[in-house]
Structure 1
Amino acid sequence: MDFLLLLLSALLHLHTSLSSGTSTVNFQVGVILDLNSSNSPVGRIGLSCLLRAHSDFYSLHKDYKTRLVLHVRDSNDSVIDAAAAALDLLNNVKVDSIIGPQKSEQVNFVMDLGDRAHVPIISFSATSPSLIPRTPYFIQTAESDANQVQAIASIVKAFQWSQVVIIYEDTEFGNGIMPYLSNALQDVNARVSYRSSIPQTATNDFISKELYKMMTMQTRVFVVHMSQSLGTRLFKKSKELGMMSNGYAWIVTSGLTDLFYSNDFDSVVAMQGVLGVKPLIPKSRELEKFASKWIQEFLQKNQGMNMAETSIFGLWAYDTLWALAMAAERVGKSAPNVHENNVDSEGLFALRISETGPELLIALLKTKFTGLAGKFNLVNGQLEHTPYQIVNMVGTIEREVGIWTPSGGISKCLSNIISPYSTSKENFGTIIWPGDTTIAPRGWEIPVSGKKLRIGVPQKPGFNEFLKVNIDPRTNAVQVSGYFKEMFDSVMEALPYAMPYEYSAYPFFDLNGSKEQYDAGLGDITITATRSIYADFTLPYAEGGVTSIVPIMYENVNDVWTFMQPLTKELWLTTATFYIFTALAIWILGTKIITTTRDEPGQHVGMICYFPFFPGQGIDGSLLCLVLVSWAFVASLLNSTYTASLSSRLTVQRLQPSITDVKQLIKNGDYVGTQEGSFIVSFLINLGFNSSKIRTYKSTEDCDEALTLGSKKGGISAYYDVLPHIKLFLSQYCGKYMIVGPTYRTAGFALAFPKGSPVVADISRAIIQLTENGTILEIEQRLSSNLACLGPESNSTPTSVTLRSFLVLFSITGCVTLICLLVSLLIYLHKQRAFLERMSDFNVNVRSRFYVLWSYLKQRNPWAHPKTTNTRDQIPVS
Structure 2
Amino acid sequence: MILFLAFSSAVAQNVTESKVEEFHVGVVLDLGTIVGKVAHTNISIAVEDFYAVHPNYTTRIVLHVRDSLSDDVQAASEVLDLLENYNVQAIIGPQKSSQAVFISALGNKHQVPIISFTATSTSLSSRRLPYFVQATARDSAQVRSIASIIKNDYGRGIIPDLVNVLEGIDAHIPYRSAIDESATGEQITHELYKLMTMQTRVFVVHMASSLGSLFFTKAKEIGMMSKGFVWIITDGLASLIDSLNPSVVEAMNGALGVESYVPKSTELDNFTMRWYTRSRNDHPNDPTLKLNIFGLRRYDTIWAVAQAAEKAKVTEAKFQRPPALKNYTSSKTLENSRNGPATLKVILQTKFEGLSGYFELSDGQLQVSMFQIINVVGKAHRSDQRTSTTTYSTTRNLNIVIWPGESTEVPRGWEIPTNGKKLQVGIVAEFNTTENVSSSYDDFVYQVYLKKYDIAVVGITIRYNRSLYVNFTLPYTESGIAMVVPVKESINKNAWIFLKPLTPGMWFGTIMLFIYTGTVIWLLELLGNKNVHGPIPRQLATMIYFSLFEEKEKVKRFISRIVLVIWLFFIVVLKSCYTASLTSMLTVQQLQPTVTNVGELLKTGESVGYGRGSYIKGVLEDLGFDKSKIKPYDTLEDFHSALSKGSKSGGSAAFVGEIPYINLFLAEHCKGYTMVGPIYKTAGFGYISSTALQKGSPIIGGISQAILNITGGDTIIQIEKKWIGDQNNCQNVGTISGTGSLTFDSFAGLIIATGVASTTSLMVALIIYFCKNKQVGHENGDSEQIMPQEENKDSGDGEKQCQEAAGARGMHEQINNVMRNGSLVICRGERIRSSWVSSSSARF
Q: Do these two structures clear the TM 0.5 threshold for a shared fold by scoring above it?
A: yes
1:88 and 2:81 aligned: yes
CA separation of 1:304/1:158 partners in 2, compared to 1, >3 Å: closer, same or farther? farther
Which residue is 1:198 aligned to? 179
Which residue is 2:408 aligned to? 438
Q: Hey, what's the Cα distance between the residues in 2 that align with 1:319 and 1:95?
A: 19
Which residue is 1:748 aligned to? 688
Q: Hey, what's the Cα distance between the residues in 2 that align with 1:18 and 1:435?
A: 68
Query: Offset of 1:769 from its aligned partner?
Result: 8.6
CA contact (8 A) 1:731 1:790 kept: no
Which residue is 1:759 aligned to? 699
Matched position secondary structure for 2:353: strand
CA separation of 1:194/1:18 partners in 2, compared to 1, >3 Å: closer, same or farther? farther
Q: Hey, what's the Cα distance between the residues in 2 that align with 1:440 and 1:141?
A: 36
Query: Offset of 1:157 from its aligned partner?
Result: 0.9
Query: Offset of 1:194 from its aligned partner?
Result: 2.4
Matched position secondary structure for 2:342: helix
Q: Hey, what's the Cα distance between the residues in 2 that align with 1:436 and 1:188?
A: 27
1:738 and 2:674 aligned: yes
Range that drifts further, 87-96 or 552-561: 552-561
Query: Offset of 1:71 from its aligned partner?
Result: 1.5
1:787 and 2:787 aligned: no
Which residue is 2:372 aligned to? 389
Query: Offset of 1:714 from its aligned partner?
Result: 7.6
CA contact (8 A) 1:728 1:790 kept: no
Deviations 1:418-461 (A, max 9, x none): 5xxxxxxxx1123221112121211111122699999888888x
Q: Hey, what's the Cα distance between the residues in 2 that align with 1:690 and 1:336?
A: 84
Equivalences, count: 646
CA contact (8 A) 1:116 1:344 kept: no
Which residue is 2:23 aligned to? 27
Q: Hey, what's the Cα distance between the residues in 1 that align with 2:735 and 2:254?
A: 68
Which residue is 2:252 aligned to? 271
| Matched AA of 1:271 | M
| Matched AA of 2:631 | I
Query: Offset of 1:205 from its aligned partner?
Result: 5.0
Which residue is 1:474 aligned to? none
Which residue is 1:356 aligned to? 339
Matched position secondary structure for 1:349: helix
| Matched AA of 1:544 | S
Which residue is 2:135 aligned to? 141
Q: Hey, what's the Cα distance between the residues in 2 that align with 1:525 and 1:336?
A: 74
CA separation of 1:381/1:677 partners in 2, compared to 1, >3 Å: closer, same or farther? closer
Which residue is 2:788 aligned to? none
| Matched AA of 1:760 | I
Q: Hey, what's the Cα distance between the residues in 2 that align with 1:691 and 1:304?
A: 90
Q: Please, which of 151, 160, 163 is the counterpart of residue 157 of structure 1? A: 151
Deviations 1:22-43 (A, max 9, x none): 443211111122234xxx4322
Deviations 1:493-530 (A, max 9, x none): xxxxxxxxxxxxxxx86654999988766544432456
Which residue is 2:317 aligned to? 339
Q: Hey, what's the Cα distance between the residues in 1 that align with 2:656 and 2:236?
A: 63
CA separation of 1:372/1:675 partners in 2, compared to 1, >3 Å: closer, same or farther? same
CA separation of 1:510/1:291 partners in 2, compared to 1, >3 Å: closer, same or farther? same
Deviations 1:709-748 (A, max 9, x none): 5567786543333224434644665552233476233322
Q: Which runs of 5+ in 1 are unaligned?
A: 1-16, 161-168, 412-416, 419-426, 464-507, 570-612, 614-639, 803-878
Deviations 1:512-564 (A, max 9, x none): 49999887665444324565456422232432122222222225838999999
CA separation of 1:343/1:452 partners in 2, compared to 1, >3 Å: closer, same or farther? closer
CA separation of 1:327/1:556 partners in 2, compared to 1, >3 Å: closer, same or farther? closer
Query: Offset of 1:324 from its aligned partner?
Result: 1.9
Computing the radius of gyration from Cα coordinates, the structure with the larger value is: 2
Q: Hey, what's the Cα distance between the residues in 2 that align with 1:371 and 1:311?
A: 14
| Matched AA of 2:728 | L
| Matched AA of 2:145 | A
Query: Offset of 1:158 from its aligned partner?
Result: 0.2
Matched position secondary structure for 1:237: helix
| Matched AA of 1:328 | A
| Matched AA of 1:153 | A
Deviations 1:726-774 (A, max 9, x none): 3464466555223347623332232443432223245546767987899
Range that drifts further, 253-262 or 780-789: 780-789
Q: Hey, what's the Cα distance between the residues in 1 that align with 2:640 and 2:113?
A: 87
Query: Offset of 1:254 from its aligned partner?
Result: 0.9
Which residue is 1:718 aligned to? 654
1:324 and 2:317 aligned: no
Which residue is 2:119 aligned to? 126
Q: Hey, what's the Cα distance between the residues in 2 that align with 1:90 and 1:252?
A: 37
Matched position secondary structure for 2:690: coil
Matched position secondary structure for 2:127: helix
CA contact (8 A) 1:344 1:351 kept: no
| Matched AA of 2:317 | H
CA contact (8 A) 2:484 2:673 kept: yes
Which residue is 1:834 aligned to? none
Alignment of 1:363-762 (within 5 A): 363-406=346-389, 417=395, 427-448=397-418, 512=436, 523-529=458-464, 531-532=466-467, 535-554=470-489, 557=492, 655-658=591-594, 673=609, 680=616, 688=625, 694=631, 696=633, 698-699=635-636, 703-704=639-640, 707-710=643-646, 716-727=652-663, 729-730=665-666, 733-734=669-670, 736-740=672-676, 743-744=679-680, 745-761=685-701
Range that drifts further, 17-26 or 81-90: 17-26
Matched position secondary structure for 1:750: strand
Q: Hey, what's the Cα distance between the residues in 2 that align with 1:385 and 1:56?
A: 24
Query: Offset of 1:122 from its aligned partner?
Result: 1.6
CA separation of 1:87/1:786 partners in 2, compared to 1, >3 Å: closer, same or farther? same
CA separation of 1:296/1:434 partners in 2, compared to 1, >3 Å: closer, same or farther? farther
CA contact (8 A) 1:528 1:747 kept: yes
CA contact (8 A) 1:446 1:453 kept: no
Matched position secondary structure for 2:45: helix
Alignment of 1:125-274 (within 5 A): 125-130=118-123, 131-160=125-154, 169=155, 174-175=156-157, 177-274=158-255
Matched position secondary structure for 2:200: coil
CA contact (8 A) 1:116 1:351 kept: no
Q: Hey, what's the Cα distance between the residues in 2 that align with 1:76 and 1:544?
A: 67
CA separation of 1:709/1:220 partners in 2, compared to 1, >3 Å: closer, same or farther? same
Which residue is 1:298 aligned to? 279
Deviations 1:158-199 (A, max 9, x none): 013xxxxxxxx3xxxx32x33322222223232222222333
CA separation of 1:293/1:793 partners in 2, compared to 1, >3 Å: closer, same or farther? closer
CA separation of 1:554/1:513 partners in 2, compared to 1, >3 Å: closer, same or farther? closer
CA separation of 1:716/1:327 partners in 2, compared to 1, >3 Å: closer, same or farther? closer
**TM-score, normalising length from structure 2?**
0.64
| Matched AA of 1:115 | N
| Matched AA of 1:791 | N
Matched position secondary structure for 1:272: coil
Query: Offset of 1:796 from its aligned partner?
Result: 4.4
Query: Offset of 1:128 from its aligned partner?
Result: 2.1
Query: Offset of 1:248 from its aligned partner?
Result: 0.8
Q: What is the root-mean-square deviation of aligned Cα atoms in Å? A: 5.0
Q: Which runs of 5+ in 2 are unaligned?
A: 1-12, 324-329, 439-446, 505-536, 538-573, 744-844
Deviations 1:559-584 (A, max 9, x none): 99999999999xxxxxxxxxxxxxxx
Matched position secondary structure for 2:151: helix
CA separation of 1:538/1:61 partners in 2, compared to 1, >3 Å: closer, same or farther? same
Deviations 1:586-618 (A, max 9, x none): xxxxxxxxxxxxxxxxxxxxxxxxxxx9xxxxx
Query: Offset of 1:257 from its aligned partner?
Result: 1.0
| Matched AA of 1:121 | I
Range that drifts further, 667-676 or 117-126: 667-676
Matched position secondary structure for 1:31: strand
Q: Hey, what's the Cα distance between the residues in 1 that align with 2:41 and 2:135?
A: 17
**TM-score, normalising length from structure 1?**
0.62
Q: Hey, what's the Cα distance between the residues in 1 that align with 2:72 and 2:281?
A: 30
